[in-house]
Amino acid sequence: MATSSDNIFLSLTAPGVAGLTPYQPGKPIETLEREYGVSNAIKLASNENPLGPSPRALEALARVRADLARYPDGAAFSLKTALARHLDLTPEQFIIGNGSNEILELVTRAFVTPENEVIFSEHAFAVYAIMTQAVGSRARVARALEYGHDLDAMAALVNDRTRLVFVANPNNPTGTLLDAASLENFLEGVPAHVLVVLDEAYFEYVTAADHPDGTRWLARFPNLLVARTFSKIYGLAGLRVGYAMGNPQLISLLERVRQPFNVNAAALSAAEAALEDDTHLQRSRELNTQGMAQILDGIRKLNLSALPSAGNFLAIDLGQTAAPIYEGLLRQGVIVRPVANYGMPDFLRVTIGLPDENARFLRALEQVLSHHNPHELQGVNA
Ligand SMILES: *Cc1c(COP(=O)(O)O)cnc(C)c1O
């Protein structure tokens, strides 16, 4: 295969594209089993809901089959209406995306040029950097504070060229959460020519008492866009559907760069049905709370710690280069996520799974670590 510097088309690319590295997703189970010859692998690498989707979403999917010859409703009228009712907003405040990743792309394409700058935090979700570079814009990366967003450092980077700020709350891969008061204070200081994308992909997992909720600021800050997804707690990552909420004038400009039928019929109808199932959400949240306690307890016995997480995953500090540990886990059929590309080479990110999956991860981790540091761990989990 040609290396990227041999690529004869490299000089023809749009500004930014030549220097891009594609997003690195969690390794799919089938890929691991094919490459390593293992079976019964488990994947705790992409923050998917281990319970899967709501049964109501599955029933809706079965009904969609009758209509598959038809194009989907590109305006997503029915899903927007259901979301508006659910979140106490109006349908004009919504745009539906092929995953919320598409929304991040739409906002960048619609508003950011090579003359602009985009602000995000160190250790923030990788897609922000990719989108910024793909449109040839300059990224201004704020130093993190204990691995979380430092909103003061981010505010200090705002200037006349700033067009967009990405804030992930909770952030992935760190799990860190900003409180409502700090966020509100930050939004008050952002000038009107700067759009703020508040990425709340894990919103429904958050159990913090002040429950920072971007929708409560939409009426006050017309430059705010709040993005959420059906990929995480709703368990529909495979269908690709997410959404954003904002001022209708802002939303209408994003609609101009959206593909006519960006979200498929199955995704639209499963998402709408999933919204109605509060019981499934509740169960998913409880399972997550218990699983997180299980993993935290297990790693404590291995003398390890994790960053405090408000999501459905933990960034575990291994205190040593994580790459060989990641490899060792793969050999045991356990897929987690290395985060060296996030500037965190000593961490692994693990998604909270079912109790059995969490236990298997902990056993595999103990085994791999005892192989890598035989003397330090002797008898720790005996
Ligand atoms: C998972 C995730 C998303 C959403 O991904 P989609 O599947 O495209 O909806 C967005 N932001 C963050 C921070 C995420 O972790």
The predicted-structure confidence for 133-143, as pLDDT tens digits, reads as follows 999 999 999 99
Same structural domain, 30 and 111: no
| Closest ligand 1 atom to 98 CA | 8
CA torsion 191-111-25-373 (nearest 10°) is: -30
Assess whether pLDDT exceeds 80 at residue 231.
yes
Distance CA 170, CA 104 (A): 16
Same structural domain, 20 and 150: no
Q: Is residue 273, in this structure, part of any structural domain at all? A: yes
CATH for 309? 3.90.1150.10
Averaged pLDDT, 196-225: 97
Q: Is residue 116, in this structure, part of any structural domain at all? A: yes
Choose the residue to mutate in 130, 199, 228, 352 for probing ligand 1, maximizing ligand atoms within 8 Å of C-beta. 199
| Closest ligand 1 atom to 242 CA | 9
Q: Is residue 5, in this structure, part of any structural domain at all? A: no
Averaged pLDDT, 17-37: 91
> DSSP class of residue 348?
E
| Closest ligand 1 atom to 241 CA | 9
| Closest ligand 1 atom to 47 CA | 1
pTM for the model: 0.95
Q: How many domains does the chain have?
A: 2
| pLDDT score of 202 | 98
| pLDDT score of 3 | 64
CATH for 244? 3.40.640.10
Same structural domain, 273 and 285: no
Assess whether pLDDT exceeds 80 at residue 380.
no
H-state helical runs in 302-344: 323-331
Same structural domain, 106 and 155: yes
Same structural domain, 130 and 232: yes
Distance 351 CA to ligand 1 centre (A): 14
Q: Is residue 49, in this structure, part of any structural domain at all? A: no
Distance 88 CA to ligand 1 centre (A): 23
Query: If pLDDT is split at 50, 70 and 90, which confidence band does 180 have?
Result: very high
| Closest ligand 1 atom to 125 CA | 13
Same structural domain, 21 and 93: no
Distance 276 CA to ligand 1 centre (A): 21
Q: What is the share, in percent, of the chain residues with pLDDT greater than 90?
A: 92
The more confidently predicted of residues 181 and 382 is: 181
Q: Which domain holds residue 203?
A: 55-277
| Closest ligand 1 atom to 231 CA | 7
Domain final residue pick, 277, 293, 318: 277
Assess whether pLDDT exceeds 60 at residue 378.
no
Tokens of 315: 């960034």
| Closest ligand 1 atom to 168 CA | 13
Domain final residue pick, 208, 242, 277: 277
Choose the residue to mutate in 103, 108, 171, 231 for probing ligand 1, maximizing ligand atoms within 8 Å of C-beta. 231
Distance 239 CA to ligand 1 centre (A): 13
Same structural domain, 243 and 119: yes
Average pLDDT, the chain: 95
Find the distance separating the first CA and the last CA of the chain, reported in whole Å: 48
Same structural domain, 262 and 287: no
Q: Is residue 4, in this structure, part of any structural domain at all? A: no
| Closest ligand 1 atom to 101 CA | 8
Distance 201 CA to ligand 1 centre (A): 5
Mark 195-221 as b/e (b = at least 16 C-beta within 10 Å): bbbbbbbbbbbbeeeeebbbbebbeeb
Burial class (CB in 10 A: 0-12, 13-18, 19+), 115: exposed
Assess whether pLDDT exceeds 80 at residue 377.
no
Residue with tokens 């994308």: 197
Same structural domain, 116 and 155: yes
CB hemisphere CA count around 84 (13 angstroms): 16
Q: Is residue 139, in this structure, part of any structural domain at all? A: yes
Domain final residue pick, 277, 299, 314: 277
Same structural domain, 273 and 284: no
Distance CA 2, CA 97 (A): 34
Distance 166 CA to ligand 1 centre (A): 13
Q: Is residue 7, in this structure, part of any structural domain at all? A: no
Distance 230 CA to ligand 1 centre (A): 9
Measuring from each residue's beta carbon to the nearest atom of ligand 1, which residues come in under 6 Å? 47, 99-101, 125, 168, 172, 199, 201, 229, 231-232, 237, 242
Q: What are 267-310's pLDDT values in tens digits? A: 999 999 999 999 999 999 999 999 999 999 999 999 999 999 99
Distance 380 CA to ligand 1 centre (A): 36
Distance 367 CA to ligand 1 centre (A): 32
Tokens of 310: 């408000």
Distance 125 CA to ligand 1 centre (A): 8
| pLDDT score of 381 | 47
Q: Is residue 177, in this structure, part of any structural domain at all? A: yes
Q: What are 32-67's pLDDT values in tens digits? A: 999 999 999 999 999 999 999 999 999 999 999 999
- Write the residue with the smallest CA distance to atom 10 of ligand 1: 201
- Write the residue with the smallest CA distance to atom 3 of ligand 1: 201
| pLDDT score of 372 | 87
Distance CA 234, CA 278 (A): 10
| pLDDT score of 376 | 58
Query: If pLDDT is split at 50, 70 and 90, which confidence band does 211 have?
Result: confident
Same structural domain, 218 and 317: no
Same structural domain, 124 and 268: yes
Assess whether pLDDT exceeds 90 at residue 108.
yes
Q: What are 337-352's pLDDT values in tens digits? A: 999 999 999 999 999 9
Q: What are 150-161's pLDDT values in tens digits? A: 999 999 999 999
